[in-house]
Structure 1
Amino acid sequence: MAEPCKIPAAMVAESVERSYVLKIDGYSRVKGLLKNGKFVASTPFSVGGHNWTVKYYPNGCPKYCDDFISLYVHHESAGAKEVKAKLTLNVLDRNGNPVPSYTRTTPVNTFSKKAPTCGYYDFIPKDELEGSAHLRGDCLTIRCDVTVMKEIEEAMVPPSDLHRHLGDLLKSNDAADMTFQVDGQRYSAHRCVVAARSSVFKAELLGAMEESSGSTIVIRDMEADVFESLLHFIYTDSVPPALDVVMAGHLLVAADRYNIGRLKVICEEKLCSHIDSNMVATSLALAEQHGFRRLKEACLQFLASPSNLEAMMTSDGYEHLKSSCPAVLKELIARIIPAEFTSAKDIIMTMWK
């Protein structure tokens, strides 16, 4: 009565698809034998490791659908886990091609033990089908395409460990081809790594400058521990977790000197977020002398408070700020004195000349 025709499964990217053709010979006889709610079932077929059955209801299901042919696909795998699948149900013409007006496609459904069936109660109006050319010789051919969505486990990409390998290379000195001499200390390094991380070092080490021909480079005006932290950042792109404000200030100057942008941002942010009355004069002098605008603005905003300004004037760094950066103090005075007191502002400005 129900003649199945199996088509081999095909793997499609993240899904497995298979078609099953159900041929109903003696359409009228089957319609007369089976009342509403009764069905013809196909033999089970497998798609994606799951068994499926097509159920054909010649007089519809449920009761109020007796004017329709109902068609459902049932997930047969007992006790199986949930499976996601999409269905396409077609009436085939005499050439075996789907009839567009009798083609229905479901969205992706989750088939489970509680909900094992999906399909259409109103798949085809019986009177419409019986008046069409698609019921040939009292034979109806229906194709069911089942596409099972494969669960593909995403590969967990480990985080980059390039910094660790380069850090190990720095520690081991393997293949080191140059030496930095800083404040009486010697540090082995790799010319290509250092040059790749700093445009200034690149010009010194790979350019036409005198340093490019030697194996030992002398770094002046920098303490050894500051250069060691600078070199560590060059290889690992990281600063010590417990970076203190004093070291951040020294590293900021070093990063600016060798044009290491990311280190400059890290150190300037550290100083901006740790401004207090004891350090603000030193930080403001640093910002003014080296053109660190964000740090300068953060210091000036902090000193806009009279109590903070008063405390800064008693700190150790105030005299250095006063003697080395008088212009920034004038700028500070111009900010904190109200605009209406222009005469007083002019007198104070004259005193700073």
Structure 2
Amino acid sequence: MPTTVSRCTTVTEQGENVFEIFDYSKLKGMGNREFISSAKFSVGGYDWAIRFYPDGFTQRCADYISIYLELMNKDTKAQASCDLCLVDQTTGLPTSVHKSDLRVFDYRNLSQFYPESGLFIKRSQFEASPYLRDDHFTIQCIITVRNGPSVSELELLNEIEVPPSNISEHLGNMLNTREGSDVTFSVQGETFMAHKAMLAMRSPVFRAELFGRMREAKEQVVTIEEMQPDVFRALLHFIYTDSLPDMDDQEGDVDNREMIRHLLAASDRYGVDRLKLICQSILCKNLDVESVSATLAVAYQHNCDSLKDICLEFITSSSSVTDSVVATQGYKNLKTTCPSALVDAFDKIRMFHKA
């Protein structure tokens, strides 16, 4: 007896828009109901914009600034949720001010806008906060649009389900069990057993060391200098599985951020380019005043041009951020470990002030 099937699916799409506003003090005094609108942007098949009212939406909001998300498509309804944030100019991190659950945005009535109140944040509180620095602030809006539900056409259920690939799991098990291993490494007294063919396939440096004329090709135990055992273990894990090992709160924890910097150095040393890019991506997403100097030094030492530029942009993003970074021990360390980074940072600061 044939079996037929149809499927109902709900698709969500998320997008983010950043609206930067300069010369805030010159916008005050525009009056109630006067606003500045961001450029139109699209999320989930709908057009949106952010409105900023420097003097509040109504007289009742005169002591507040008003910020709204607006649905722009005429005669349209959209199911969406949104998170309106202000960005801390000192840390670069957003703080949620108004966050909605899933709701209907309807262009034909006031539900076209969110939030429902013009009392976004009190002006006195806003002007004394780290959100406003050098007459500049940033609004971040994250929108999640729900489309659907969508029902597929009736079809015969005549497919054979194929499980996802698990080759990385098998290769990881081969590393862990040491079965068939033919090379041993000693890292600060800790021993690691691996497979020459796998290492040579994934790293041109290992290929030269293990199959070339280098001394390591003839040695039964290869000693790895100037690397921590945990870093070498993580490097091997990536070589075998193409993924990072599990780390508690990998992208945010201070100790793990230091681990990622060491792993970036190891990936550069052994020519594992994809791992090097992954480490850079993690580090650039987690910059703060305390960590940026150490990350900048690593970027210079290992020729990570994009990461270097992102660090310099962070340091020179505002005078308050620059002052906070300069006061850290990490920045003082740059004077001895990477003086060229200081030269570039000062050049960017001078360009920023001239602009």
TM range (shorter): 0.5 to 0.7
The one-letter amino acid of 2:271's match is N
Deviations 1:251-307 (A, max 9, x none): 000001101111111110000000001011111111112111111011011011212
Counting matched residue pairs gives: 199
Residue 155 (structure 1) shift: 3.0
User: Compared with structure 1, are the counterparts of its residues 307 and 240 closer, same or farther at alpha carbon in structure 2 (3 Å cutoff)?
Assistant: farther
Alignment-derived partner of residue 310 in structure 1: 323
Deviations 1:107-146 (A, max 9, x none): xxxxxxxxxxxxxxxxxxxxxxxxxxxxxxxxxxxxxxxx
Alignment-derived partner of residue 205 in structure 1: 210
Work out whether 1:219 is the aligned partner of 2:224.
yes
Work out whether 1:332 is the aligned partner of 2:337.
no
Work out whether 1:230 is the aligned partner of 2:235.
yes
Residues in 1 aligned to 2:261 and 2:300: alpha-carbon distance in whole angstroms? 13
Give the secondary-structure state (helix, strand or coil) at the position aligned to 1:222.
Answer: coil
Residues in 2 aligned to 1:234 and 1:193: alpha-carbon distance in whole angstroms? 8
Alignment-derived partner of residue 309 in structure 2: 297
Alignment-derived partner of residue 270 in structure 1: 282
Deviations 1:322-344 (A, max 9, x none): 222222212111112248869xx
Alignment-derived partner of residue 265 in structure 2: 253
In structure 1, stretches of 5+ residues that fail to align are 1-48, 51-79, 83-148, 343-353
User: Compared with structure 1, are the counterparts of its residues 171 and 307 closer, same or farther at alpha carbon in structure 2 (3 Å cutoff)?
Assistant: same
Work out whether 1:165 is the aligned partner of 2:177.
no
The one-letter amino acid of 1:180's match is F
Work out whether 1:283 is the aligned partner of 2:288.
no
Residues in 1 aligned to 2:346 and 2:192: alpha-carbon distance in whole angstroms? 46
Residue 249 (structure 1) shift: 0.4
Alignment-derived partner of residue 100 in structure 2: none
Residues in 2 aligned to 1:319 and 1:337: alpha-carbon distance in whole angstroms? 20
Residues in 1 aligned to 2:209 and 2:194: alpha-carbon distance in whole angstroms? 14
Give the secondary-structure state (helix, strand or coil) at the position aligned to 2:156.
Answer: coil
- Whose relative contact order is higher, 1 or 2, with alpha carbons under 8 Å and at least 6 apart? 2
User: Compared with structure 1, are the counterparts of its residues 178 and 340 closer, same or farther at alpha carbon in structure 2 (3 Å cutoff)?
Assistant: closer
Alignment-derived partner of residue 66 in structure 1: none
Question: In the TM superposition, what are the counterparts of 1:1-353 in structure 2 within 5 Å?
Answer: 151=156, 153-242=158-247, 243=250, 244-304=256-316, 305-338=318-351
Residues in 1 aligned to 2:353 and 2:286: alpha-carbon distance in whole angstroms? 33
Alignment-derived partner of residue 53 in structure 2: none
Residues in 1 aligned to 2:283 and 2:4: alpha-carbon distance in whole angstroms? 57
Identity %: 40
Residue 159 (structure 1) shift: 1.4
Residues in 2 aligned to 1:238 and 1:215: alpha-carbon distance in whole angstroms? 28
User: Compared with structure 1, are the counterparts of its residues 337 and 206 closer, same or farther at alpha carbon in structure 2 (3 Å cutoff)?
Assistant: same
Residues in 2 aligned to 1:188 and 1:270: alpha-carbon distance in whole angstroms? 28
In structure 2, stretches of 5+ residues that fail to align are 6-153, 251-255
Residue 319 (structure 1) shift: 1.8
Residues in 1 aligned to 2:289 and 2:352: alpha-carbon distance in whole angstroms? 26
Residue 170 (structure 1) shift: 1.0
User: Compared with structure 1, are the counterparts of its residues 340 and 248 closer, same or farther at alpha carbon in structure 2 (3 Å cutoff)?
Assistant: closer
The one-letter amino acid of 2:321's match is N
Residues in 1 aligned to 2:4 and 2:229: alpha-carbon distance in whole angstroms? 64
Residues in 2 aligned to 1:178 and 1:339: alpha-carbon distance in whole angstroms? 53
Residue 81 (structure 1) shift: 7.6
Residue 154 (structure 1) shift: 3.0
Residues in 2 aligned to 1:216 and 1:338: alpha-carbon distance in whole angstroms? 53
What TM-score, normalized to structure 1? 0.53
Give the secondary-structure state (helix, strand or coil) at the position aligned to 1:337.
Answer: helix
Residues in 2 aligned to 1:187 and 1:286: alpha-carbon distance in whole angstroms? 26
